Structure 1
Amino acid sequence: MTEWITVETADGPMRVYAARPDAPADRAVVVLQEAFGVNDHIQDIARRFAARGFLALAPDLFHRTGVATLGYDQHAEAMPLIGAIGPDAIVTDVGAVADHLSGVEGVSADRTAVVGFCFGGRAAFTAATAIPGLAATVVFYGPGIAAGPHAVLDRAGTIDAPMLLHVGAEDPTIPADQVKAIDAALQDAGADFDQHVYEDAGHAFACDARPHMHRSGAAETAWERTHAFLDRHLPSAAAEAR
């Protein structure tokens, strides 16, 4: 089942796309949008997680602007929107979703993962630095973590959840020096993490809604790793019973 719900934040109400599995969920994934909003692609990802037994919630991180979604050809319009969303706003919004999960849905933080794509990758990393007790975090090609006005790499020491990162070797938004800086900071922080770099893949390589950017081989491997990672850190009740 899918529906739009409303979650209250300190900055006002926020729409959240909810995809629910057939059976009651005992684990959740917060799906964080690309720079284009909670569009058909992000909703599809939420539904895919629901098919795997997760309650998937995709918050509209544009709720302060009045913009719902943008087309993939509206990159110029998207950039100032995501540039206006700093760490405090991200933590407010993801924290509100986590509170909703624990207070309304009965899914605690230690049964919740955060998975983000593009801008949402930065948002997922940011949330992991400030929301304690999460089960896991997955970052798909998140620019702006190591450099830029909202960089949060200096907060790596506060991350307490296992983290999986996927980066395209040809991604101009996350150059090799930033990939190395992320590796170094997480290692220095003693974080439990794996960062995978995919050869011949650029930005948004896992986005099958953008055929010119999608790289099927890298995407398939990244998703296989993601599902294995989440199943390891958030096993279903049935798996735990075995």
Structure 2
Amino acid sequence: MDDTGINRRGFATAGLATGFALAVLPVSAQTIITDADDLDAGMVQVPVAGGATMAAYRAVPKRTGKGGHHPVVLVVQEIFGLHEHIRDLCRRLAKSGYYAIAPDLYFRQGDATKVPDIPTLIRDIVSKVSDAQVMADLDATVAHLKTDNRADTQRMAITGFCWGGRIVWLYSAHNPDLKAGAAWYGRLVGNTDADHPKNPIDLVDQLNAPVLGLYGAKDEGIPVASVEQMRTALAKGNKAADTSELRVFPESGHGFNADYRPSYNPVDAKIAWKQMLEWFNKHGVPYVPHA
């Protein structure tokens, strides 16, 4: 076990091919598998608007936190939905003392994990998920957490990856109760439409919490030029924007934390994960360092 509390084993040895999205198969032998020892981990149902319920994966330490509560981290899925990698990230966060929860933000449109290719996934599911729907469902997740006395929503952060990285910026401008955000390679600029009316760069005057942006210099979908454009905008934004930071990893591309894919850069992923934890700690959402 390394200093993040993560066990690394060969994927073939672990024998866990299930749980990953079809569009990401085959899965790399470098895949990280984090156990659920000392955690309360599993699926829960979150009430949402219209009387429906939304599935979410929750991982929370069994040990008692400060006052019986644990700081909260909302985890926003990649484009591939709520599959095993996202659940594993929740367990990693729980190992650091957080109450981590990842809602299935595509649940109204379909099961992204069962779609075999990316073009179909984008056309049939992702493009139909509106920003307003996502904001409301994240609000519902927070409301659900407030019914669990183990969750300290006064100390709450958000992190997200790929598709979820963009959502981190949006939700940081939406929820005034957030303390910090960490956006992993989320789009910053681009085309808009009725369901996706604003980009993160349009919201620099509305951020409620400082965001740490983690990007790869070799990301062909999110060029460094757009990151620098965002950096300039943040410097002219409000206080939360001005205290946000963008960090670019020269040797990494998109998805450098996705250990189940060829894009994984283990060195940069470890550094960035530590930087995220330190960022949360700095902004009032403390973690438990591992020996």
TM value normalised by structure 1: 0.90
Note the 1:83-98 alignment, pairs <5 A: 83-98=127-142
**Residue matched to 2:213:** 165
Q: Give the secondary structure class of the aligned counterpart of 2:107.
A: coil
In structure 2, runs of 5+ residues without a counterpart are: 1-39
Per-residue Cα deviation, 1:46-87 (whole angstroms, up to 9, x for no partner): 00011111111000011111315247x622222232222222
Give the C-alpha shift of residue 29 in structure 1: 0.7
**Residue matched to 1:189:** 237
Supply the AA of the counterpart residue of 2:266.
S
Per-residue Cα deviation, 1:173-216 (whole angstroms, up to 9, x for no partner): 11122112211222111322110011121100111011x10111
Hey, what's the Cα distance between the residues in 1 that align with 2:150 and 2:270?
Answer: 32
**Residue matched to 2:97:** 53
> What is the count of residue pairs matched by the alignment?
235
**Residue matched to 2:35:** none
Relative contact order higher in (CA < 8 Å, ≥ 6 apart) = 2
CA radius of gyration, larger in: 2
Supply the AA of the counterpart residue of 2:231.
D
Question: 1:70·1:78 contact (CA, 8 Å) conserved in 2?
Answer: no
Question: 2:155·2:178 contact (CA, 8 Å) conserved in 1?
Answer: yes
**Residue matched to 1:8:** 47
Hey, what's the Cα distance between the residues in 1 that align with 2:117 and 2:83?
Answer: 13
Q: Give the secondary structure class of the aligned counterpart of 1:158.
A: coil
Aligned in 2, Cα 1:68/1:83: closer, same or farther, shift over 3 Å?
Answer: closer
Hey, what's the Cα distance between the residues in 2 that align with 1:142 and 1:105?
Answer: 32
TM value normalised by structure 2: 0.76
In structure 1, runs of 5+ residues without a counterpart are: none
Hey, what's the Cα distance between the residues in 1 that align with 2:220 and 2:158?
Answer: 24
**Residue matched to 1:76:** 119
Per-residue Cα deviation, 1:144-194 (whole angstroms, up to 9, x for no partner): x32122324212211121210101001111112211221122211132211
Q: Give the secondary structure class of the aligned counterpart of 2:44.
A: strand
Hey, what's the Cα distance between the residues in 1 that align with 2:112 and 2:253?
Answer: 26
Question: 2:46·2:55 contact (CA, 8 Å) conserved in 1?
Answer: yes
State, as a whole percentage, how many aligned pairs show the same letter. Answer: 30
Supply the AA of the counterpart residue of 1:132.
P
Per-residue Cα deviation, 1:77-113 (whole angstroms, up to 9, x for no partner): 2223222222211211111111222243463543111
Question: 1:205·1:218 contact (CA, 8 Å) conserved in 2?
Answer: yes
Supply the AA of the counterpart residue of 2:263.
M
Q: Give the secondary structure class of the aligned counterpart of 1:20.
A: strand
Q: Cα RMSD (Å) of the superposition?
A: 1.9
Q: Which runs of 4+ in 1 moved over 4 A?
A: none
